[in-house]
Amino acid sequence: MNEAFVLLNVDYKQQQNIIEAAKKIPIAKAVKTIYGIYDILVILESNNMQDIKTAIDVDLHKIDGINNITSLIAVN
């Protein structure tokens, strides 16, 4: 199973909408509010690395209010 930990900086006024939209991504296993440099953590899991790439490059990028995306891909 491939995993990606995606850290988001978001517009605070849209944070709840972003969380709800991220939860709708089929391979999103968890979406959490976090404190510190980043605002939201999205954990993606899939057997297919292309699905993870699509979730980041397409699904997350089309959500309004995300200012920055940092992706951490776990390697087995």
Q: How far apart are CA 75 and CA 61, in angstroms?
A: 23
Chain segment 33-73, per-residue pLDDT in tens: 999 999 999 999 999 999 999 999 999 999 999 999 999 99
Strand order across the 28-33 sheet: 28-33, 40-46, 2-10, 66-74
Q: Which CA distances in Å does 47 have to 4, 15, 44, 57, 68?
A: 11, 29, 10, 17, 26
Residue ranges and CATH numbers for the domains of the chain are 2-74 (3.30.70.920)
pTM of the entire predicted model: 0.95
Q: Tell me, what DSSP letter sits at residue 58?
A: I
